[in-house]
Structure 1
Amino acid sequence: MEEAISDQRETRQQEEAANNVQERRRKANEAFEKVASYGLVTNMILYLMKDYHLGVAKGTNVLFFWTAATNFMPILGAFLSDSYLGRFLTIGLASFCSLLGMFLLWLTAMIPKVKPSPCNILTQSCESPTTAQMTLLISSFCFISIGAGGIRPCSIAFGADQLDRKDNPNNERVLESFFGWYYATSAIAVVIALTAIVYIQDHLGWKVGFGVPAILMVLSLLLFFIASPLYVKLKASSSLLTGFAQVAVVAYKNRKLALPPPNASWCYHRQKDSLLIVPTSKLRFLNKASFVAFAIRFLNKACLIRNPEQDIAPDGSALNPWSLCTIEQVEELKALIKVLPLWSTGIMMSINISQNSFPLLQASSMDRHVTSSFQIPAGSFGTFTIITLAAWVVLYDRVLIPVASKIKGKPVRLGVKLRMGIGLFLSCMGMVVSGLVENIRRRRAIREGYLNNGQAVLEMSAMWLVPQHCLNGLAEAFNAIAQTEFFYSEFPKSMSSIAASLFGLGNK
């Protein structure tokens, strides 16, 4: 008996060691990708204004649409991953797209003819970019967005696949710790992007500044495929979009049917060897009188068996999937609908945190000197947001939770909804502080006679911007991790990539 227990323990330790190797290499892959992509975004407004001669408004709009595309593409990437390609193949193809986009962007810096000529210093006149020049630039942005659409939703779900063990009694805690450390390691990568890459762009120029991220993306690809034999690779299920459409159509066809009693399992169609007997009726996060709750109960009609002889094939499958769905299909669509109310709360927070261009212009107009000979690059002030996020994750996971659990004598965790709420509150406070600082900065500019001089540097320390960045970092540490954990726990395993992509769609 003791030998069996010892063998089982040894096997589990070997599995954990293998998982750790997989995770280190997968995280290295994503770390390089984040350093590359975030290193490009940070100073991009300056590149558009100085080299492409775009105004602040037009340059900001270009970056806004690029950011919007980057955050929408993960939804498409997640559906492709969960329905057709699988997470491993999706990440691989997306990495190639990112590399292509970075290479095209590097070409805009290397080849003078693909961007406008420098401004005439004597006449102060600047050429506008041609259609062909803007097409090449926008194409590079599009490929980078497509790459992000495949990497970002699949990476965190792919990492969780390596660790998710339902037979492990500590599985929930393992996943919570994974999500926290995922954001911590991502934060370290972003810090490097906001410091080292920004410094290179400021001091060595755009040719080297865009070339380094492209090289890092090559390393990312190599690390990802070198570790390929070690990964747990789950196969994609059937098309989720088709399944969602089938559930909606069949539920409408059966709209006049009355729902049977709660335990009438014989009335519902389910997959072979399914653990689900009847559709769920308990709505943990919803008011039972709400419209969403009504819609979720209405969807249960999609898996009602009207006539077994006409609806069910001899092998137990549905003869016509557009006339009868499985309980699993219904639950997948219900899972998506149920999270929408909580998902929508992150939209306002995204407006607060994702104003990347304005804080950069703020910092560039303030005194950024730390010493007489060194000043912080304007694009590096976002580092304070990331450092705060990473510091809180470490403090929460390694100090606060263990100490609280020891005092209570049992495991202690802050609920996901509580953490989301705290994050939203801190985000609002960050905007209040930001507004106060901007009011002071604007008054100082008027007083010093720089009302119409947007290039002037005020005698005001840029350290005034640190509190708002720190509050935004805390807000994201609470809200982002909690939302991702919530989506992943609420969705079926077949929708893990979609769970990860939802946060990016509503946030940033």
Structure 2
Amino acid sequence: MECLKRRFLDRAAVVSVAESKEGDYYNRWRLCTVTQVEELKILIRMFPIWATGIIFSVVYSQMATLFVEQGRMMDTTIGSFHIPPASLSTSDVITVIFLVPIYDRIIVPFARKFTSKERGFSDLQRMGMGLFISILCMSVAAIVEVARLKLAKEHLVLNIFWQVPQYVLMGASEFFTFVAQLEFFYDQSPDTMRSLCSALSLLTTALGNYLNSLILTLVSYFTTQGGKPGWIPNNLNEGHVDYFFWLLAGLSILNMLVFIVAAKGYKQKRVF
């Protein structure tokens, strides 16, 4: 790969015979500086890491969509008090708030003894942890849905607090992945493009939402053939949202494998 970069990218900074004869050394469309070529190489190396954040954002978007729909089919009352299904997303926020001091005061000092890293773990390692936890989150959501559907067949309703573990796991994955992403893109991006690369890391959220819509559309199309209600009908008791959660868990596993390969082959930016 590095050989191909030298072959195709380094030539952009080499003065051709025609340019040498014409003395045309200032046309930026035909001749780049060595710094510009090296900055492009950095962006190319970062691209696979950036792309893996899109699937994670698909998983993260479930907290505001199917998790809420799943909660609406559960028992949302405690005595006379009604719990809005969307309010359980506060579990995600609370998890992040509690993880910050725990990570800084306990996890980082402990990890520092073994990794000799000032931050305890590298940005890529933390991103990997977040991706792994997101797989657990989708698996737990699927298991909860299986239990809910089983009770629904017996005309019973599962309590909404069974959703709390999946929200907590989502908060933990968010804590590790999003924070590490921002730090990674800021530290590893070219010095003149740090703001842009930090913004690109946030672009994964938007692309993840679009991809989630596409996946939902495809799933709805293929699972409703022949008059079937599909995986995600209006009445979730007639569908199989658990299949969709398992699908996202599978995609997350593939995404994590791609991330591991990309992270192992990633060449850290040289710091002078």
Give me the TM-score of the superposition, normalised by structure 1.
0.37
- In the superposition, relative to structure 1, how do residues 478 and 465 fare at CA in structure 2: closer, same or farther (>3 Å)? same
Q: Does structure 2 retain, via aligned residues, the 8 Å contact 1:311–1:319?
A: no
Q: Does structure 2 retain, via aligned residues, the 8 Å contact 1:310–1:319?
A: no
Q: Does structure 2 retain, via aligned residues, the 8 Å contact 1:311–1:320?
A: no
Q: Does structure 2 retain, via aligned residues, the 8 Å contact 1:416–1:485?
A: yes
1:365 aligns to what?
Answer: 73
Q: Give, as a single letter, the amino acid of the residue that structure 1 aligns with 2:13.
A: C
Identity of aligned residues (%): 38
Larger RCO, structure (CA 8 Å, separation 6 or more): 2
* Aligned counterpart for 1:482 among listed residues 175, 180, 197: 180
* Aligned counterpart for 1:331 among listed residues 38, 41, 47: 38
1:459 aligns to what?
Answer: 157
- In the superposition, relative to structure 1, how do residues 408 and 328 fare at CA in structure 2: closer, same or farther (>3 Å)? closer
SS in 1 for 2:16: coil
1:347 aligns to what?
Answer: 54
* Aligned counterpart for 2:124 among listed residues 414, 417, 426: 417
* Aligned counterpart for 1:321 among listed residues 28, 45, 60: 28
Which digits, 9 at most, give the CA deviation of each residue in 1:88-124, with x for residues without a partner? xxxxxxxxxxxxxxxxxxxxxxxxxxxxxxxxxxxxx
1:502 aligns to what?
Answer: 200
**1:352, distance to aligned residue in structure 2 (A):** 1.8
Instruction: Verify: 1:433 aligned to 2:131, yes or no.
Output: no
- How far, CA to CA, are the matches of 1:323 and 1:411 in structure 2? 43
- How far, CA to CA, are the matches of 2:196 and 2:42 in structure 1? 11
SS in 2 for 1:354: helix
Q: Tell me, which stretches of 5 or more residues in structure 1 are unaligned?
A: 1-289, 449-457
Query: Aligned residues, how many?
Result: 203
Which digits, 9 at most, give the CA deviation of each residue in 1:259-293, with x for residues without a partner? xxxxxxxxxxxxxxxxxxxxxxxxxxxxxxx4xx3
Which digits, 9 at most, give the CA deviation of each residue in 1:270-322, with x for residues without a partner? xxxxxxxxxxxxxxxxxxxx4xx344322111111336855767xxxx42112
- In the superposition, relative to structure 1, how do residues 444 and 326 fare at CA in structure 2: closer, same or farther (>3 Å)? same
1:296 aligns to what?
Answer: 5
2:153 aligns to what?
Answer: 446
Two-structure CA RMSD over aligned residues (Å): 2.7
Q: Does structure 1 retain, via aligned residues, the 8 Å contact 2:129–2:177?
A: yes
- How far, CA to CA, are the matches of 1:357 and 1:333 in structure 2? 37
- If you compute each CA radius of gyration, which structure gives the higher value, 1 or 2? 1
- How far, CA to CA, are the matches of 1:346 and 1:471 in structure 2? 17
Runs of 4+ in 1 over 3 A off after TM superposition: 306-313, 402-412
**Larger helix fraction of residues:** 2
Instruction: Verify: 1:400 aligned to 2:111, yes or no.
Output: no
**1:380, distance to aligned residue in structure 2 (A):** 1.3
* Aligned counterpart for 2:171 among listed residues 460, 466, 473: 473
- In the superposition, relative to structure 1, how do residues 404 and 343 fare at CA in structure 2: closer, same or farther (>3 Å)? closer
Q: Does structure 1 retain, via aligned residues, the 8 Å contact 2:107–2:120?
A: no
1:130 aligns to what?
Answer: none
Q: Give, as a single letter, the amino acid of the residue that structure 1 aligns with 2:14.
A: L
Q: Which range moves more in the overlay, 401-410 or 378-387?
A: 401-410
SS in 1 for 2:81: coil
Q: Does structure 1 retain, via aligned residues, the 8 Å contact 2:148–2:157?
A: no
**1:412, distance to aligned residue in structure 2 (A):** 5.0
Which digits, 9 at most, give the CA deviation of each residue in 1:303-358, with x for residues without a partner? 11336855767xxxx42112211122222322221111112222322222212211
SS in 1 for 2:82: coil
Q: Tell me, which stretches of 5 or more residues in structure 2 are unaligned?
A: 209-272
Q: Give, as a single letter, the amino acid of the residue that structure 1 aligns with 2:11.
A: K
